[in-house]
Amino acid sequence: MSDTKPVLLRVDASMREEDSVTRQLSDRLVDLLKSRMDNLQVNRLDLAETSVPLIDEAWIGANFTDPADRTDAQRDRLAGSDALVAGLKAADILVIAVPIYNFGVPAALKAWIDQIARARETFRYTENGPVGLLEGKKAYLVIASGGTPVDSPIDFATPYMRHVMKFVGIDDVTVVAAEQLMARGEEAIDAALAEIEAVPQAA
């Protein structure tokens, strides 16, 4: 964690502005972390309000061109991605709110991941495979599902998000889950809130 003001990046992926369980749980988690850390700066990316474009052929061509050789048009094409990467690099802590949609992550969250998972920026290739470059960060994944049991064989969101975090170098990942809300209702929310309250002081 940085020696100056610590920075928390919150990413909300629920398309629901109201009655979103991941937003409710993330509110509580961020409030808890703010109460424990002096001068915590909270930056927020709300994917329901900020449209992250899908990658396309022009983006791929620009990304795989050596930075020194990029044209002005290619640099412009990557400007949005550069800003998202910069926000991620600046953060000491991540709180990513992940509702499970149809067994996976929301499309907007996948678009964000495609924009920040970049060779030479957040990972690099080596003779032994890719190595993440964002070491030393802490991530919280706030998961909610209507019917999917978290970490079950039909949950393709939670293990995917863990893998993405590790891929970019973030190994310290805590999952807070309100699962099977359609069946468990408030019981699931209360269990997740209890997990948040039990987050270690040193985290």
Q: What confidence tens digit (pLDDT) does each residue in 133-147 have?
A: 999 999 999 999 999
Residue 12 and residue 95 in contact, taking contact as beta carbons nearer than 8 Å: no
173-195 average pLDDT score: 96
* pLDDT value for 201: 67
- With 0-12 / 13-18 / 19 or more C-beta atoms within 10 angstroms meaning exposed / middle / buried, residue 181 is buried
* pLDDT value for 38: 87
* pLDDT value for 2: 47
Beta strand 93-99 with 123-126: parallel, antiparallel or unpaired?
A: unpaired
pTM: 0.94
* pLDDT value for 9: 98
Name which of 133, 131, 150 is nearest 141 in CA terms: 150
Q: What angle do CA 131, 135, 139 make, to 5 degrees?
A: 115
* pLDDT value for 200: 85
Examine the pLDDT at 43 and tell me if it is beyond 90. yes
Taking the C-alpha atoms of residue 70 and residue 160, their distance in angstroms, rounded to an integer, is 32
